[in-house]
Amino acid sequence: MKRKTFLKTTAVALGGSLLPAWSSAEDEKKKPIRFAHITDIHVKPGIVPETGMAKALQHVQQLHPQVDFIINGGDSIMDALEVDKQKTQIQWDLFHTILKKENNLPIYHCIGNHDVWGWFIKENLAPDSYRDGQGGKPKDDRLYGKTWVVETLEMRNRFYSFTKGKWHFIILDSTQMNPVGGYIAFIDPEQLQWLQEDLLATPKDQFVCIVSHIPILSICAALFFDRTEANGDLKIQRNLMHTDFLALKKIFFHYPNIKLCLSGHIHLQDELDYLGIKYYCNGAVSGNWWKGAFQEFAPAYAVVELSQDGSFKRTMVSYE
């Protein structure tokens, strides 16, 4: 099928089924909130990633005015964790160029692990690979860690919240450094304190949608590898799902207005219903890091519809 025809068909299909037209002022109040949750774009120089990111954004624009805004779930660029300043800058420049050209919708960003700069630049490679012009170490640079991504994406903070109509959105920062190597998914003490205060301050008649890069709860986190344990046990690695799920679950239990949690990171898709909250892991725009489908899942993004009565619906959309 030609791309134009496909886009038209998809837009009509969405428009016909879950995106009805609204007209009167009274209807306007009842109008659901609709947004695209795009995650794991992993853009890098190259024809496939560059046209892929552009195609995904063009596809989302076709859904406007039914889709009001975008939430970017993180891992916007291929990787900043292990590469020097110059290579990181090239990736962010590319991300901004494509976003500016292909997107007209408001966009809210969430930090992914690969958006964090310099944590894993190898010390022995640093003098050559880290070209800041001063021969310093990445961790002495002002942009080290999450500062760069927060600044370049003009985020208010590495975690933040906002409200639209009856819905309150909480954007979390999942990725914390493991001092002995790698990273672990959890909410650090400062962020946890803020989260509890934010939930407490949210009016009880508002519904809550939480977004994290790494899933808070997910079954596909256990299915990322074909096999983990030799004896057949399934293991969920601490960098694939929040290690503080049991603590978060206890907090969430006090807030029946928390309705859904969205994530990416795994590049697979799942849907879990646990203690009255839906947890959706929403695949990846880049699929198998721009090499086609990852396992059974083609490159995709989610359209999420939130109604003013607290009900909601997620639809996965293949954009290719």
Footprint of Zn ion on this chain (CB under 5 A)? 75, 112-113, 265
**DSSP structural state of residue 113:** G
Residues across the chain: 320
Nearer to Zn ion, 88 or 202 (CB): 88
The one-letter code for the residue type at 96 is H
Report the alpha-carbon distance of residue 188 to residue 192 in Å, rounded. 6
CA distance 236 to 238: 6
Which one, 85 or 265, has the nearer CB to Zn ion? 265
DSSP-derived 3-state class of residue 264: coil
Question: Of 118, 64, 50, which is closest to residue 285 (Cα–Cα)?
Answer: 50
Q: Kindly tell me which of 168 and 213 has the beta carbon lying closer to Zn ion.
A: 213
Nearer to Zn ion among residue 78 and residue 304 (C-beta): 78
Q: In the bound complex, what is the minimum distance in angstroms from residue 258's beta carbon to Zn ion? A: 23
Q: Using the minimum distance from each CB to Zn ion, give the nearer residue, 75 or 173.
A: 75
Closest residue to Zn ion using C-beta atoms:
265
How many angstroms separate the CA atoms of 75 and 282, rounded? Answer: 13
Q: Which residue has the tokens 């089924």?
A: 17
Min CB(36)–Zn ion separation in Å: 18
With vertex at residue 301, the alpha carbon angle to CA 99 and CA 215, rounded to the nearest 5 degrees, is 105
Residue 198 beta carbon to Zn ion: minimum distance, rounded to whole angstroms: 23
d(CA 262, CA 265) in angstroms, rounded, equals 11
Smallest distance, Zn ion to C-beta of residue 179, A: 20
Q: Measured from the CB of residue 284, what is the shortest distance to Zn ion in angstroms? A: 9
Q: Distance (Å, rounded) from C-alpha 128 to C-alpha 4?
A: 46
> Closer to Zn ion at the Cβ: 41 or 126?
41
Based on CB atoms, which residue is closest to Zn ion, 75 or 84? 75
Q: What separation, in Å, do the N-terminal and C-terminal C-alpha atoms of the chain show?
A: 11
Task: Decide: 296 and 277 in contact? Cβ < 8 Å.
Answer: no
Could you tell me the smallest distance in angstroms from the CB atom of residue 40 to Zn ion?
6
User: Least Å distance between CB 281 and Zn ion?
Assistant: 11
Please give the structure tokens belonging to residue 315.
Answer: 């639809």
